[in-house]
Structure 1
Amino acid sequence: MIKPQRFPFFYGYLIALVGTIGIWASIPGQTAGVSTFTDPVKDALSLTRDQFSLAYMIGTLLSSIVLTRAGKLYDRYGVRPTAALAVLVLAITLLLCSYSPGISGLLESLIGIRHWAIPFVVMVGLFFMLRFSGQGVLTMTSRNMIMKWFDQMRGRINAFSSVSVSLGFSASPLLIDLLIQHFSWQGAWQVMALGLVFVLGMILLFYKDNPESYGLHPDGSDSEISTASQSAGRDAFTLEEAKKTRSFWMYALILAFHAFFVTGLTFHVVSLFAEAGLTRTEAISIFLPMTVVSVLTSLIANFMSDWMRLKVFLYVMIAGALIASFGLLLIKNELGVYLLIIGLGVTGGLFAVINAITWPRYYGRQHLGAISGKAMSMIVMASAIGPYLFSVANTLTATYGSVGYVSLAFLLFMLIGSLKANRPMKGNTD
């Protein structure tokens, strides 16, 4: 049994490494991991783009409903059992996804009816498990674990983690596409499921809860009472208290907007960028320059977050979202592509900062699972709506760009609503 207190260096640094690997492992359940499968899987199941997108939306919405409960279970049972169960469910789901045409065919034989509704329902169930275990629980538990082990160094450690995650997520569509070309789409899912077996072993060995449980303190400090320890106690907010503050909703909503926008774009990346005259390979490669912007933004923001007000980052993220929205409106022009790269690069870089740092800094660590779980449920819910709304917009208007009008209206509301999104104090509500 590994004992963090006997490590030759502060165990939190190892936590940052394995927690980052844990977030990487969630990629098969993230839109970046699913989007490359969209065209071959919908064709194999004889589903239209709208039907496949609707299945994704319903499955993701269902997962968002139970994520807050999962956050409370994380607070109760700890990171290791929660993360281990999540990665096990994710691996099993990937195997089931690889056999989805066979499962659909078997159900059609048993029922005696051949109809698109049967593969549709199968994919709803599989998307629910993918999104809940991968995008939801595994991501939330891994990120929260890292944040619990650091306080004054939280921004600097998150710089390492978020940059690594950005690079991994941006490279994943290209790597998964190579797996599909080499092993077929079924084989690609099976290879990723096998890889998760090793991640499960890592979680069981190295994932640890609060440093105080092992006689340690956040940041490796010798101080018996740290800022984080205080915030984890009497100054910590419950979920109900957090929901009464304006800041919770404004920060959660801008994170949700990014999820909505980037999920919709990523899910239809090949079709969407075809409007700009890009090939499939060029469309998938668009994530690389976007990641450069994201990584630079994340590095700067993470290091500045240790001493700068988070509200500054909130408004910069809104500005990035506005740039991306204008880029979508101009998608048929080259300028639109550049605006999307810049805008989503900025919002993607700040997403990792705001989502990791806001909840422990503003609301403490005692109920971190429940509070971040609620925020994650909003993020997942928004990510569910994105692909379907993008698909419907394209069907009705013959362009994905029309979604930009909806985005601009929402961001105007965010600009006004965030004026008083200051750091909350216990006993004060907006």
Structure 2
Amino acid sequence: MLKVSPKNLLEPNYPFAPKNFPFFYGWIILIVCTIGVIMSTPGQTIGVSAFTDHLLAATGLSRLQLSNAYFIGTLTSGLILPYGGVLLDRFGARVTVVCASIGLALTLCYLSFSDRLATIINNTFPIIPYSTIALVILVLGFVCLRFSGQGMLTMTSRTTLGKWFDRRRGFVSGITGVFVSFGFSIAPLTMSSLIDILGWRNTWLAMAVVVGMGMGLIGWFFYRDNPEECSLLMDGKKHTQNSFDTKHSSDNNLQDFTRAEALRTIMFWVVTLALSSQALIFTGITFHIVDIGAEAELSQMQAVSIFLPQAVVSTIVGYLMGIAADRVPLKYLFTVMMLGQIIGVAAITNFGVPLFRVLTIVGFGITSGCFGTLSAVALPRFFGRTYLGSISGFQMMILVIASAIGPSFLAIFKDKLGSYQPGLYGCLILAILILIFTFFARQPRKSHLLE
């Protein structure tokens, strides 16, 4: 009988051996990693957006001040994410996902009484303006929220999934993308409903319990770093491989880029910039969607109602992308993603017109569906698994920084020019430039590294 100790608790075969399952354990990994990404919703902008107006009312900060706090917090979390990737490579997915879940839960508890904490500190040190205290408290909260949720929990789940599949990676990423896209898209409506029932503080506290205890236990019980530590192989292949599998494995070994080598390829930057533009644009628009709708003379319900049909489009596209990712060069799929982004941004500049609202739903549905699949498939496909954590950490840093810029970028135009329109046109130009850049992408080879 295995003696239980802190070390044994993290053994791959404790509390059960994945190799004893009657089917390939990677399918369990698919399920729990999908849950992991969905559980990161409170740390995603689409999850924060439902609480924006409540934080404004509770703290008394202006929309620009709150956007700047979100920017600083997200930027800071992005800058430390590469170290999170290194820790993921060192300690593995199981430890990392549990720590990220607990960290996100504690952060949600902290944010739920952030305004009251600001009041307590202001009463203790009345010489310091309340707005300054509230700003600092929210910056700290956003740093932890974005690092644990959008950063580590998401990155760990996607990286782990990529390590368990090879030839079926596009298919399983497409399945994940279906549920994640749908989950993210309905998040604003779901959270708004919960806030109406429980209040914004109790909604955050309820989510803290679900993420901290629920995801923490799921992470410890089911997550495993890679199939090899469980005496398994990717895709459920047998140890006695045929010649095709041997050759395929050998090709993968040639693709084990270090982080430094990956950064010297054009493909890394094509992938990263495409995903980052989605993070910047979609985050900025989602954060201000109610106000963008108000500018177009739409009610709050009309503005947020685009997310549900967008979820339907995103779900369909995510499934199709998963199938295509195993058959079509990813370069062309990134082109589709950027075209969808361009349609969405161009359409939302005329948000008040019903036809353009439909095009907004279609465009952002396409790009969101592509994002979920391609963000999981691209890095392991091009750069291998050995240094996947550190490479993903660097890429995630750029994505998080981009998402930090989005809300403040649009808020500046609203504050200085009185409209989001110029900022949206700037986003459209960015998307077009990145689309052009994708035409220069090529399959990375170590012999082609940039000097």
TM-score range, shorter chain: over 0.9
Task: Decide whether the 8 Å contact of 1:362 with 1:424 is kept in 2.
Answer: yes
* 1:351 Cα offset (Å): 0.6
- Give the corresponding residue for 2:255: 235
Q: Distance in 1 between matches of 2:207 and 2:37?
A: 14
Post-superposition offset of 1:144: 1.1
TM normalised by structure 1 equals: 0.97
Within 5 A, what are the aligned runs for 1:61-140? Answer: 61-113=75-127, 114-140=129-155
How far apart are residue 224 of structure 1 and its match?
Answer: 5.0
Q: Does the 8 Å CA contact 2:186/2:308 hold for their aligned counterparts?
A: yes
> What secondary structure does 2:130 align onto?
coil
Q: 2:27 aligns with which of 13, 31, 43?
A: 13
- What are the residue-to-residue correspondences of 1:388-407 with 2, within 5 Å? 388-407=408-427
1:151 to 145, 149, 166: 166
Match of 1:427, SS state, is: helix
SS class of match (1:415): helix
AA of the residue aligned to 1:88:
I
1:214 equivalent in structure 2: 230
Conserved in 2, the CA contact under 8 Å of 1:232 and 1:366? Answer: no
Deviation at 1:347, TM superposition (A): 0.9
- Structure 1 residues 210, 404: CA separation in 2 closer, same or farther (over 3 Å shift)? same
| 1:306-317 to 2 correspondences below 5 Å | 306-317=326-337
Partner SS for 2:60: coil
What is the aligned-residue RMSD (CA, Å)?
1.5
Partner of 1:252: 272
- Would the alpha carbon gap of residues 9 and 337 (structure 1) be closer, same or farther in structure 2, given more than 3 Å must change? same
CA-to-partner distance for each residue in 1:381-406, whole Å, 9 max, x for gaps? 11101111111112222221222221
Deviations 1:241-283 (A, max 9, x none): 0100111111100100001111111111111112333221222
> What's the CA shift string for 1:171-197, capped at 9, x where partnerless?
211111111111111110000011121
Task: State whether residues 231 and 365 of structure 1, in contact with CA within 8 Å, keep that contact through their aligned partners in structure 2.
Answer: no
8 Å Cα contact 1:75/1:370 also seen in 2 = yes
CA distance in structure 1 between the aligned counterparts of 2:21 and 2:297, rounded to whole angstroms:
55
Cross-structure match for 2:191: 176
Percent of paired sites with the same residue:
39
**Pairing partner for 1:323 from 333, 337, 343:** 343
- Give the distance between the partners of 1:274 and 1:294, measured in 2 at CA: 25
User: For the Cα contact (< 8 Å) 1:258–1:347, is it kept in 2?
Assistant: yes
Match for residue 217 of structure 2?
A: 201
Q: Post-superposition shift, 1:411?
A: 2.7
Aligned-pair distance for 1:229? 4.7
Q: How big is the shift at 1:14?
A: 0.6
SS across alignment from 1:263 = helix
Contact 2:103 2:144 in 1 (8 A): yes
Provide structure 2 residue ranges, at least 5 long, that are not aligned to the other structure. Answer: 1-14
C-alpha displacement at 1:232, in angstroms? Answer: 5.7
Q: Name the counterpart of 1:59.
A: 73
Displacement after TM superposition at 1:223 (Å): 4.4
Distance 1:232 1:248, change over 3 A: same
Query: What is the distance in 2 between the residues matched to 1:230 and 1:118?
Result: 56
| CA distance, structure 2, for counterparts of residue 322 and residue 428 of structure 1 | 31
Deviations 1:122-162 (A, max 9, x none): 00000000000000000000111111111111111112111
Cα distance, 1:343 vs structure 2: 1.4
- The residue aligned with 2:297 is 277
Work out the CA distance in 2 between the residues paired with 1:95 and 1:80.
Answer: 23
TM-score computed with the length of structure 2 as normaliser: 0.92
Q: Counterparts of 2:431 and 2:288 in 1: how far apart (Å)?
A: 22
Query: Given the alignment of the two structures, is residue 186 of structure 1 paired with residue 201 of structure 2, yes or no?
Result: yes
Kindly indicate whether the alpha-carbon contact (under 8 Å) linking 2:339 and 2:435 is maintained by their aligned counterparts in 1: no
Contact 1:217 1:224 in 2 (8 A): no
Q: Unaligned stretches of 5+ in structure 1?
A: none
Pick closer, same or farther for the CA change 1:415–1:32 going to 2, 3 Å: closer
Partner of 2:4: none
2:25, 2:40 → 1: CA distance? Answer: 23
The AA in structure 2 aligned to 1:274 is: A
**Partner residue of 2:11?**
none
Residue pair 1:273, 1:283 contacting (<8 A) in 2 also: yes
**Distance in 1 between residues matched to 2:151 and 2:344, nearest whole Å:** 25
Contact 1:328 1:403 in 2 (8 A): no
Q: Which amino acid aligns with 2:231?
A: G
C-alpha displacement at 1:287, in angstroms?
A: 0.3
| Structure 1 residue 306 displacement after superposition | 0.4
The SS at the match of 2:133 is: helix
Q: AA paired with 1:377?
A: M
